[in-house]
Structure 1
Amino acid sequence: MWVTSSLTNALTPTAVALGNFDGIHLGHQEVIRPILHRIKSQEEVKSLLSYPLSVNAETQQVSSSDRPEHIYSTVVTFNPHPQEFFTGKKRSLLTPLDEKVKQLQSLGVEQLVRVPFTKDLAALSPQDFVEKILIQQLCCQEISVGENFCFGKQRCGTAKDLKAIAAGFGIPVTIVPIHARAGDRISSSAIRQALEHGDLPCAKELLGRPYTLTGTVVKGQQLGRTIGFPTANIAVPPEKFLPSKGVYAVQVFIQDGDNCQGVMNIGNRPTINGTHPSVEVYLFDWSGDLYGKTLTVQLEKFLRPEQKFASLDELKAQIQFDCTAAKEVLQGNTK
């Protein structure tokens, strides 16, 4: 998938899904779906993407004159998130960039354009945003947005306004209704709330997949090996949203293709007076060097909240109990 933060580097013409899309949850997928119908086959995509691109060193403009005419399914999002831009407060993300790219690729999206959100962009009127960004820069041929999409200066433009403005240029706009599960709106906020309460089934239902943490194994204090439970300390991206502190039953996918089961602890490790949150995984029936490898941890069940024990012996006994509980959960999931 082509990923760019430069509008002049975007592959055009485009069919655009507009939004922030943190999580790529089921609601987001419905907004993205209308722009995917232009992909005829994987063979066509491979053929198109095999054409060499030349880039002008001065303008950074991609030249693709020899490429067959093709409308690129394109997700357009903003960096930083507009809310982060206006408040100055960092936002935690359900899907940092690498995860977002992976999820979009799995849907069949061909391009991700991360439009830099600046003071000048924020000042554009809805009309100017459509003309200058969508039409002049992205050569947009069709657009899809959620019904609650707002844009332009002070968020004064609505999805209906977008449809009316685009109609003046002959560009069709699909407005996707808000999707719900069990009467509740599917949203990134609802997923965060579920994860904060350890409600993994709810988060999974809204996402359409289990929640995962991905990171590189780094050296920790190596306390686990002294009590018989060596753990892999995972450095997840600092912007990644972490669920409730505590212990989880997990499936683990290792960089080289192996996968296994285990228990994961998220928290400050109060028993040893830890002060910084960490993500540690103990893998069942595993031996080998994991340092430097990337692990993707799939959260299956929240077992218990973080707690402080009076001694390392008590901690060891509890970890053994956690392992037994996790194995029962994970074996049940595979039946």
Structure 2
Amino acid sequence: MKVITASDRSIPQTPSVVTIGTFDGVHIGHQKIIKKLTKKASEKNLNSVVLTFFPHPRMVLQQNSDIKLLNTIAERKEILSALGLDYIYVKEFTKDFANLSARDFVKTILVDTLHAKYVIIGYDHQFGKNRSANIDDLRKFGAEFGFEVEEISAQDVKDVAVSSTKIRSSLLSGDIKTANAFLGYDYYINGTVVRGKGFGKKMEFPTANISVDETYKLIPKNGVYVVASSYKNKTIYGMMNIGVNPTFEGDKKTIEAHFFDLDEDLYDRHLKISFLDRLRDERKFESVEALIEQLRQDRINAKQIIANRNAQTPL
């Protein structure tokens, strides 16, 4: 699998099957579409290509948009890369691109760049300047330029739309289980371990303070979570607090992970941390001692969740 961009000279000059979308989350609905894409490409002996966009159109067209995405662009590429595609074409979304007519989009991108012979697209897909063209227009362009259009059913499109919306709302409400079920994998963040105030270490719960560079990345609701990461090729488990540390009168949101059975310096390390479950809301305790007692109980609860989860995982 190769990621290509508009400036890449290694864009394949061979015919392809293409699907188009933002694919934020690359959730189970998206995965269903991509399976259809790779199957068609295999049957026709063509390249399978996902055409996706970054930045998100709302980031460009709505200057005040506060949209939060399920994946950074690097994460999106990573997940797509595991789905058996030949190419991912990341098209930079700009205002000039948004102003392309439907015909120019089809000619310059689908035909001249990606050499599409089949385009798999939703029945309600709109494209071109002001989203003025639809699937019927695409079929007409296909007849003109020599590609076929395969329609994704209304039910499949509904699956995509509903799950995308539900994933965001689930994460923002702390419902990790529902989000993970719709994603088809455990939601995760990537970040660098930075120095914090050291409260956790003083309480027997040293934490790795995670800094996420991409401000558009959706961070789940404040609270305490069961998490997993990989360190030195080994899965490590722990619990994470997202919030402001109200017991210590904090006012700045932080992301802090305490890993069980790990006593190593993690500063400046890059970690990918997955959310497995949610333990509770963040709250202010009457004393540090009361907080410590709650953290001890959180650890017991988290380890039980991990044990149950691992027991259910087939060998």
Tell me the TM-score normalised to structure 1 length.
0.83
| Separation in 2, partners of 1:247, 1:196 | 13
Q: Which moved more, 1:241-250 or 1:107-116?
A: 107-116
Alignment of 1:14-93 (within 5 A): 14-37=16-39, 71-88=46-63, 89-93=65-69
Change (3 A) 1:7 1:129: farther
CA contact (8 A) 2:247 2:286 kept: yes
| Separation in 1, partners of 2:209, 2:49 | 36
Matched, 1:240 2:217: yes
CA contact (8 A) 1:179 1:186 kept: no
Q: 1:301 aligns with which of 271, 277, 287?
A: 277
Shift of 1:310: 2.5
Specify the alignment match of 1:272 in structure 2.
248
Specify the alignment match of 1:146 in structure 2.
122
In structure 2, the gaps of 5 or more residues are none
In structure 1, the gaps of 5 or more residues are 41-69
Q: Aligned-pair RMSD on alpha carbons?
A: 2.4
Change (3 A) 1:187 1:168: farther
Secondary structure of the equivalent of 1:168?
A: helix
Q: Which amino acid aligns with 1:251?
A: A
1:100-123 CA distance string (max 9 Å, x none): 111111101232222122222212
Change (3 A) 1:326 1:178: farther
| Separation in 1, partners of 2:203, 2:273 | 23
Change (3 A) 1:182 1:310: farther
| Separation in 2, partners of 1:106, 1:123 | 33
Q: Which amino acid aligns with 1:266?
A: I
Shift of 1:21: 0.4
Q: 1:310 aligns with which of 269, 286, 308?
A: 286
Specify the alignment match of 1:12 in structure 2.
13
Shift of 1:7: 5.3
1:263-314 CA distance string (max 9 Å, x none): 1111122222323222111111111122222222221211111111222222
Alignment of 1:156-195 (within 5 A): 156-179=132-155, 186-195=162-171
| Separation in 1, partners of 2:128, 2:145 | 18
Identity of aligned pairs, percent?
A: 34
Alignment of 1:110-259 (within 5 A): 110-179=86-155, 186-238=162-214, 239-254=216-231, 256-259=232-235
Change (3 A) 1:166 1:90: farther
Secondary structure of the equivalent of 1:318?
A: helix
Tell me the TM-score normalised to structure 2 length.
0.88
| Separation in 1, partners of 2:201, 2:66 | 35
